Amino acid sequence: MARSALMNVMTQAAMKAGRSLTRDFGEVQNLQVSMKGPADFVSNADRKAEEIVFQELSRARPEWGFLMEERGTVEGRDPQHRWIVDPLDGTTNFLHGIPMFAISIALERDGQIVAGVIFNPALDELYTAEKGGGAFLNDRRLRVAARAKLPESVIATGMPFLGHGDHARFLFESRQIMAETAGIRRMGAASLDLGYVAAGRFDGFWEHELKPWDIAAGSLLVREAGGFVTDTEGAKFDVMQGDICCGNELIHRQLLAELKKANTAHRGGGEPVAAKG
């Protein structure tokens, strides 16, 4: 597959950062780790990867700004373009030697995500998408799964953890969804969850309170693979708002309906819907 000049810039930055992460992954027990908050770690590997991506993209497009997990907002001279970067999505997986982590790079143009790259260096899987150009995994065209019913489907999500998220809401939602599906998976890296939806490995995904860098590239991948992406109430997806629900048209619709039931019960102070026996 012939890549555009823009996609070449993005993939080269992701793969160079990936080589750095791969080296550190092999020395994970020796990494110096600091704590940003409860159960939320940042490592030297994370910072090195972000610096690599920042330098590579700045060299190629010096006037464009950034929104990055560690560095924050970097204003550019061109207000129309902004890179949204997560240099290490799945930090906790990384620090525990679990090979489910990724570099995620998206390009926002005039408020719209128009290009995305997600690279898992441990598995050598490179996901790419450009608006209107389709989604790919290592140059193989992707399509979302064609399953039409939730009982046949595997749905991914992210779980709240120590000091983060609405634990009660998650218990309502997960009990509702697990009663209606073939299974729920929690990978620990939202960018890869979305890549897996685009690749048809997962049939759907939902999560709350994510950061823009977690979902910017992945949301475009799902759409370019033929999927539907909204917030968790079915409203227009906003990468800055942080709630996301996606899948093919039918699964997306059914998943939203089950989430609505769960949240109606949650807000009403009732009990989660009983699992089917």
89 known ligand binder: yes
Dihedral in degrees, nearest 10, Cα atoms 94, 98, 100, 105:
10
Q: Which residue in 76, 66, 88 sits closest to 22, CA to CA? A: 88
Cα 70 to chain centroid distance, Å, stands at 17
Provide the CA 116 distance to its chain's centre, in angstroms. 11
Question: Would the annotation count 108 as a binding residue?
Answer: no
d(CA 263, CA 176): 10
Question: For the packed helices 212-224 and 190-198, what is the interaxial angle rounded to 10 degrees?
Answer: 0
Contact (CB, 8 A) for 100 and 93: yes
User: CA-based angle 146:210:214, to the nearest 5?
Assistant: 70
Q: How far, in Å, CA of 184 to CA of 199, rounded?
A: 17
Q: Is 46 annotated as a binding residue?
A: no
d(CA 221, CA 143) in angstroms, rounded, equals: 10
Q: Phi and psi at residue 183, in whole multiples of 5°?
A: 160, 155
88 is in an annotated binding site: yes
The annotation places the binding site at: 69, 86, 88-89, 214
The annotation places the binding site for Mg(2+) at: 69, 86, 88-89, 214
